[in-house]
């Protein structure tokens, strides 16, 4: 399946999906938190898509909103897609966990939670993974202030 075919298939699942223009090597699709779970389940279960391997998950702070970015690969069909979820609520950023679909998400979601403060609803073990439990704030956010090391953007 090429990027144009993937795009058409995605639009049948989530008509409101947005695509990055210009097109990169991998198709980039952005959805709202309400559509994330539906698209992820279809990505994994639909035989035409069969995205069975999540090889990267990261958080992004765009100052005006937060994002979680998932890089997915189909070992069966040999195609890749970048799925992004845009989170407008910076005060309480949250999305559904996808670790029951892709087991690799479990560790990565904890990392994003720890460093960006994005909560993954229904995650089986959502707690800090790098920082101490009493750490205040989320150091990968652009508005984070570090009075000891004086890191500012």
52 within domain boundaries: yes
For residue 29, give its domain range.
Answer: 3-89
51, 16, 53, 44: which is closest to 32 by C-alpha?
Answer: 16
48 within domain boundaries: yes
Cβ-based neighbour number of residue 104 at 10 Å? 15
Classify 117 in phi/psi space as left (phi over 0), alpha (psi -120 to 50) or beta.
left
Single pTM value for the model = 0.92
21, 55, 61, 57: which is closest to 36 by C-alpha?
Answer: 57
Buried b (16+ CB within 10 A) or exposed e, 16-42: ebeeeeeeeebbbbbbebebbbebbeb
Q: What CATH number is associated with residue 66? A: 3.30.460.80
16 within domain boundaries: yes
User: Total domain count for the chain?
Assistant: 1
pLDDT in tens, 68-116: 999 999 999 999 999 999 999 999 999 999 999 999 999 999 999 999 9
60 within domain boundaries: yes
The confidence band for 23, taking pLDDT boundaries of 50, 70 and 90, is low
29 within domain boundaries: yes
pLDDT in tens, 37-67: 999 999 999 999 999 999 999 999 999 999 9
């Amino acid at each position: 399946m090429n990027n144009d075919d993937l795009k058409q298939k995605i639009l049948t699942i989530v008509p409101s999906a947005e695509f990055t223009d210009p097109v990169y090597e991998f198709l980039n699709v952005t959805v709202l938190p309400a559509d994330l779970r539906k698209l992820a389940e279809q990505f994994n279960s639909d035989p035409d898509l069969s995205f069975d391997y999540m090889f990267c998950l990261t958080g992004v702070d765009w100052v005006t909103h937060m994002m979680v970015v998932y890089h997915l690969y189909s070992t069966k069909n040999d195609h890749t897609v970048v799925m992004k979820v845009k989170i407008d609520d910076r005060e309480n950023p949250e999305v559904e966990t996808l670790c029951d679909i892709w087991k690799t998400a479990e560790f990565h979601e904890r990392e994003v939670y720890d460093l960006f403060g994005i909560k993954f609803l229904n995650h089986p073990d959502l707690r800090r993974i790098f920082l101490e439990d009493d750490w205040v704030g989320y150091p990968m956010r652009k508005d984070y202030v570090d009075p000891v090391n004086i890191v500012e953007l």
